Structure 1
Amino acid sequence: MQAKELRELLTPEGLRLLDSLPAFDQKADVLAQVAKLRKAGHSPELVAAVLTQAKLRSKGRAKFGDFAERMLFTEAGLEQATRLPVASTHAGRFRRAGLTRIADLGCGIGGDALALAALDLGVVAVDRDEVTAAIATYNLAPWPSAEVRLGTAEEADLDGVDGVFLDPARRTSGHSSTQRLQDPAGWSPTLDTAFAFASRLPTGVKLGPGIDRELLPDDAECQWISVDRSVVEVGVWFGPLARPGVKRAALVLGAHGPAELTASGDSDDVEVGDLAEYVYEPDGGVIRARLIGDLARQLGASTISRDIAYLSSSAATETPFAQCFRVLETFPLDEKRLRQELKKRGIGRVEIKKRGVDVDPAAFRKKLQLSGSNEATLILTRFRGHHTALLCERV
């Protein structure tokens, strides 16, 4: 979004027009919508802005629920914004630590600041981009305890602030098509700068879940969070925001509610064992936090191969930290053999999972030439040094 489009949108006429639009329909005739709005006398900039916002609000529901209906977004801002349930866990840490006024440095469109303000915490939200800061101001307008400032994290005035939250920009600047920056020295603020705030104030830093673990500090709690089995972030927490004795945590959010594994460090692995009746695929958050060993001990399970994150047990135990599969049969990972076996069983739909083998699941599925009304799961992995296919059903 350009500044001119935003100025058009942030007028009584623009906001009334946006709120009057019907729910976004992916199949609607966009050219017809544009022609209708232009015929009504609206400028090209305003028409482009309101139709873009209608689309983004529709996408925003996945992260913000009903709040999205009164929010504004940029494409890049929505993509990078923290999901509201996750932002709520961040805000809860600050409140439990007894902090009352938080600086959200690099606030983006205001997702985390919104969650902080919703808990009646004072918020100073700072962003270096003028358009993004203006959108954050609109999104935070219902909360008088929140203010938005244009500026950088490095130069932010922290007078009166008793806690800091940072989400370093890890992509090139812009509001739509941006590119990921791999080097932490190129982030804004840099990773070293973000961690340095912890020497001044209680600090939380949101990072991508795949960050090199060697870059994570030893004196902080690192919590990986997954939402509906997708790992979305690792939060690094310092001072009173970190829980005593906790250095590694995996928080799993889903239909079951929140569930968490915590430990004082990476867990010790369990021994490799035989393939039993049930196989477990640990949640990605558990894998990233390196708490597979602790989970295995909870389940009474062993690993099926060293350095591969599949567990096996003779019992099916319900857990939010892993998906469970019953092993029906085991085959060599041979395309022709599998095609014959699946055809014999009338299996026309397969879910393919893989670890430790170089296979493209989509391409492999096509080669199986599936037909039939039954369905199953294929787990392609290594067992006893051999590439193996496990024909399974979900428990």
Structure 2
Amino acid sequence: MTPELLHLLQTPNGVEALAVAAEVAGGEPLAAASAMRARGFGAELAAAALTQASLRERAAMKFGSDAARMFFTRAGLEQATRAVVADRRAARLAAAGVRSLADLGCGLGSDALAAARHGITVHAVDADPGTAALAAANAAAAGLADRITVACADATTVPVERYDAVFADPARRQAGRGRVFDPKSYSPPWDFVAGLAGRVPHTVLKLAPGIDHDLLPPGAEGEWVSVGGDLVEAAFWCGPLARVPRRASLIGPDVVLTGSGTERAPVGEIGSWIYDPDPAVIRSHLVAEFAATVSGRLADPDIAYVYTDEPVDTPFARRLAVTDVLPFSLKRLRTLLRERGIGVLEIRKRGSALVPEQLRKDLRLSGPNTAGLVLTRVGGAPLALLTSVA
């Protein structure tokens, strides 16, 4: 969206178009467009309003009721921090005494909005003019323009030393290339991002969940966050903000697991119960710490499935009852599932090269019953574990 089109949506005519679009969106696109034109809106304004109505509906999952008055782009919405995650981060910054914050790579402004709501004054910057305009519009829509200033600027030019803290969310996408996995290709560059902690002790870096642990600045805390079992981000907390070496934060059950990230879980036999840890637990390298909470063990030291002989309730993993353990054989597995009348199969895998969709077709499932299948390995040997489905 261009700044000019955004401005048009903020005029009285644009506000009316957005209201009408919210009424007619969600059905057949051509019918919605016709309804907008019938109400006297030009093609460009009608299309922009309908796009916003669609994005606002999708954004409700991330932003709740606030989404109805915010402005989005598809890419910006996909990359925006969920409101509940941004709020947790802002609360932690405020509790640490932060009163002013430089937000580098602010995107649509989710983190800036959360910080401002916690009484922090924010200077937000984004290198893209359209994105910066959207962030400013969202600050105004939330009634927080007095606490948030937004500038279109290169993050590397911001005098970050003027602020109590720095929050950096480097862009991990490139036009025409999609996601960028190599930190050297981030924007701003990784060397600049990693150097922020040396300039401003209270620094937080929002990064992709798959970030290499070796990139953690010395003494920093690595936090991996999941929302309802969906791994959404990693955050590096630097300087005085660091509390523990590694943290897995699960929003939904609202629980936290901490540890060194270097412990090794005990290894033993497959048990009667298997636990599939939350992805935040796995990415934070806290599987051993989790296993200790259920007095569990691994069957293979490199596979993050945990086993116990008795069931233990836990918010950190999905627990399944193991009914059968067999060396993987398509023919033998197909026969067993046919005997059990299994027509619906929930497949999980770790340490297996098999493709679940193809395997499901090859098994030719038929029957009224449901079961779970875990594809894994122990000591290099592929195994199939049949489980009950909770």
Does 2:156 align with 1:154? yes
- Following superposition, the deviation at residue 92 of structure 1 comes to 1.5
- Following superposition, the deviation at residue 178 of structure 1 comes to 6.0
Per the alignment, do residues 319 and 11 of structure 1 end up closer, same or farther by CA in structure 2, a change over 3 Å counting? same
Counterpart secondary structure, 1:280: strand
Q: Distance in 2 between matches of 1:4 and 1:145?
A: 24
Q: Distance in 1 between matches of 2:134 and 2:285?
A: 38
Per the alignment, do residues 313 and 39 of structure 1 end up closer, same or farther by CA in structure 2, a change over 3 Å counting? same
Question: Which residue of structure 2 aligns with residue 259 of structure 1?
Answer: 255
Letter in 1 for 2:130: V
Letter in 1 for 2:361: K
Deviating beyond 3 angstroms after TM superposition, the runs of 4 or more aligned structure 1 residues are: 22-26, 157-160
Does 2:339 align with 1:348? no
Question: Which residue of structure 2 aligns with residue 36 of structure 1?
Answer: 35
Q: How does 1:284-323 map to 2 (within 5 A)?
A: 284-323=279-318
Q: Distance in 2 between matches of 1:172 and 1:378?
A: 38
Question: Which residue of structure 1 aligns with residue 245 of structure 2?
Answer: 247
Q: For 2:371, which of 373, 376, 393 is the aligned residue?
A: 376
- Following superposition, the deviation at residue 30 of structure 1 comes to 0.7
Letter in 2 for 1:298: T
Deviations 1:66-90 (A, max 9, x none): 1111100011110100011111121
Q: Distance in 2 between matches of 1:22 and 1:76?
A: 21
Question: Which residue of structure 1 aligns with residue 232 of structure 2?
Answer: 232
Structure 1 length-normalised TM? 0.93
Q: Distance in 2 between matches of 1:189 and 1:85?
A: 26
- Following superposition, the deviation at residue 3 of structure 1 comes to 3.8
Question: Which residue of structure 2 aligns with residue 208 of structure 1?
Answer: 208
- Following superposition, the deviation at residue 383 of structure 1 comes to 2.7
Question: Which residue of structure 2 aligns with residue 90 of structure 1?
Answer: 89
Q: Distance in 2 between matches of 1:156 and 1:74?
A: 25
Deviations 1:285-304 (A, max 9, x none): 11111111111122111101
Counterpart secondary structure, 1:140: helix
Q: Distance in 1 between matches of 2:25 and 2:298?
A: 47
Q: Distance in 2 between matches of 1:162 and 1:23?
A: 44
The range that moved more, 322-331 or 178-187, is 178-187
Question: Which residue of structure 2 aligns with residue 169 of structure 1?
Answer: 171
Question: Which residue of structure 2 aligns with residue 62 of structure 1?
Answer: 61
Question: Which residue of structure 1 aligns with residue 334 of structure 2?
Answer: 339
Does 2:263 align with 1:268? yes
Q: For 1:327, which of 322, 326, 332 is the aligned residue?
A: 322
Deviations 1:43-82 (A, max 9, x none): 2211110011011101101111111111000111101000
- Following superposition, the deviation at residue 24 of structure 1 comes to 7.0
Q: Which has the higher helix share?
A: 2
Letter in 1 for 2:386: L
- Following superposition, the deviation at residue 315 of structure 1 comes to 1.4
Residues 286 and 321, structure 1, Cα contact 8 Å, conserved in 2: yes
Pairwise CA RMSD of aligned residues?
A: 1.7
Letter in 1 for 2:5: E
Counterpart secondary structure, 1:154: helix
Q: Distance in 2 between matches of 1:373 and 1:116?
A: 52
Letter in 2 for 1:87: A
Q: Distance in 2 between matches of 1:4 and 1:276?
A: 62
Q: Distance in 2 between matches of 1:151 and 1:262?
A: 37
Counterpart secondary structure, 2:257: strand
- Following superposition, the deviation at residue 4 of structure 1 comes to 4.1
Letter in 2 for 1:314: D
- Following superposition, the deviation at residue 159 of structure 1 comes to 6.7
Deviations 1:11-63 (A, max 9, x none): 2211221023335754x111121122223332221111001101110110111
Number of equivalences: 386
- Following superposition, the deviation at residue 121 of structure 1 comes to 1.5
Per the alignment, do residues 23 and 346 of structure 1 end up closer, same or farther by CA in structure 2, a change over 3 Å counting? farther
Deviations 1:368-389 (A, max 9, x none): 1112221111001113542111
Residues 24 and 54, structure 1, Cα contact 8 Å, conserved in 2: no
Residues 220 and 237, structure 1, Cα contact 8 Å, conserved in 2: yes
Per the alignment, do residues 159 and 279 of structure 1 end up closer, same or farther by CA in structure 2, a change over 3 Å counting? closer
Structure 2 length-normalised TM? 0.94
Q: For 1:366, which of 339, 342, 361 is the aligned residue?
A: 361
